[in-house]
């Protein structure tokens, strides 16, 4: 591994090893995350449907309607799926590294692999959950016109990347200051209520909207809803801001991941 060896070749081998490691981790995580329950992955679906169902019920009791004539369950799916992608990726990244220290004894396994494996797993799982829930909504007679598949995909991928960037940061901070683990869920709780999961950010009063603008997740939720329905066209979404935010957090997160490696040891 001298510097004189073929750098491109080394990089290629490295990438091949990393792909293998991430795949192995994904297979393993599916087992450890859901393997012990009888219904396995179905729990992700049950959990999401339950939460959305509860909020649907509450909204229906309050007599609320989704804006722009959107069906309430579709509106809620549009809010909760990006949230799940975002939230689960951050939590998964943070707990994945500290909970898998034993694995890091294998020299080819780095914390970033654990994080990426979990991100890919959650990404594919919640995309499936979204498809299933939308299909269910369409089956029971709600309008689900996928107006703009490009926006839907962009919103999902960006929500995942946003979770990945912030997740890398949190995971690194968690290694350096274990208090992070207490603080992050508190911040996430605030985001749950302020990202427009079960209301439309666009319809919030102007002074609230101006504050919520800085929350990148709220843009992605609106973007997904724009993609799901032709009638729902929120002017709130400003992609350059979200893109910049995602790139910045990813860059910082990856740097911190590299930097925090030396804090990983058996004892702490």
Partner 1 sequence: MIELRGVTKRYRTTRGIKTVLNDISIDFPPGTNMGILGRNGAGKSTLMRMISGAELPTAGEVFRKASVSWLIGFSGGFHGSLTGRENLRFICRIYNADIPTVTAFVEDFSELGDYMEMPVNTYSSGMKAKLAFGLSMAIDFDYYLIDEVTAVGDSKFQKKSKEEFDRRKDHSTLLVVSHSVSTIKTHCDAAAVLEEGTLTAFDNVNDAIGYYERH
> Could you list the residues that contact partner 1 (CB under 8 A)?
1-2, 17, 20-21, 23-25, 27-28, 31-32, 35-36, 102-109, 261-262, 264-266
Which CB sits closer to partner 1, 44 or 103? 103
Q: What's the rounded Cα separation, in Å, for the pair 13 and 191?
A: 40
Closest CA to 89 of 29, 184, 154, 165: 165
Least distance to partner 1, CB of residue 33, Å: 10
Helices (H), ranges, the chain: 7-34, 42-61, 72-99, 111-139, 149-176, 180-194, 206-212, 216-228, 239-260
Least distance to partner 1, CB of residue 268, Å: 9
Q: What's the rounded Cα separation, in Å, for the pair 20 and 117?
A: 11
Which CB sits closer to partner 1, 188 or 264? 264
Least distance to partner 1, CB of residue 27, Å: 7
Question: For 108, which DSSP code?
Answer: T
Least distance to partner 1, CB of residue 123, Å: 20
Calculated CA dihedral for residues 43, 118, 88, 130, nearest 10 degrees: -60
Which CB sits closer to partner 1, 104 or 230? 104
For residue 118, CA distances in Å to 88, 168, 247, 257 come to 9, 12, 20, 15
Q: What's the rounded Cα separation, in Å, for the pair 178 and 187?
A: 16
Residue-by-residue DSSP string for 208-253: HHHHHTT-HHHHHHHHHHHHH-SS---S---HHHHHHHHHHHHHHH
Least distance to partner 1, CB of residue 257, Å: 13
Least distance to partner 1, CB of residue 116, Å: 14
Least distance to partner 1, CB of residue 30, Å: 11
Structure tokens at 78: 């549009």
Least distance to partner 1, CB of residue 254, Å: 16
Question: For 134, which DSSP code?
Answer: H
First to last CA, the chain: 30
């Amino acid at each position: 591994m001298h510097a004189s060896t073929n750098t491109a070749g080394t990089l290629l081998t490295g990438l091949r090893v990393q792909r293998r490691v991430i795949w192995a981790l994904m297979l393993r995580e599916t087992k450890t995350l859901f393997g012990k329950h009888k219904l396995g992955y179905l729990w992700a679906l049950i959990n999401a449907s339950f939460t959305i169902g509860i909020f649907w019920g509450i909204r229906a009791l309050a007599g609320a309607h989704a804006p722009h004539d959107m069906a309430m369950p579709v509106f809620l799916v549009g809010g909760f799926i990006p949230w799940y992608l975002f939230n689960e990726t951050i939590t998964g990244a943070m707990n994945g590294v500290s909970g898998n220290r034993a694995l890091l004894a294998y020299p080819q396994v780095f914390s970033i692999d654990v994080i990426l494996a979990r991100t890919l797993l959650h990404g594919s799982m919640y995309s499936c959950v979204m498809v299933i829930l939308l299909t269910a909504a369409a089956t029971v007679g709600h309008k689900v016109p996928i107006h703009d598949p490009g926006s839907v995909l962009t919103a999902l991928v960006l929500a995942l990347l946003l979770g990945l960037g912030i997740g890398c940061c949190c995971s690194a901070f968690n290694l350096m200051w274990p208090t992070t683990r207490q603080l992050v869920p508190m911040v996430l709780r605030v985001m749950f209520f302020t990202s427009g999961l079960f209301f439309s950010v666009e319809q919030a009063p102007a002074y609230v909207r101006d504050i919520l603008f800085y929350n990148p997740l709220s843009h992605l939720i609106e973007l997904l809803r724009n993609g799901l329905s032709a009638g729902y066209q929120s002017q709130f979404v400003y992609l350059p801001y979200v893109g910049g935010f995602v790139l910045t957090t990813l860059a910082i997160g990856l740097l911190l991941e590299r930097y925090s490696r030396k804090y990983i040891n058996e004892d702490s």
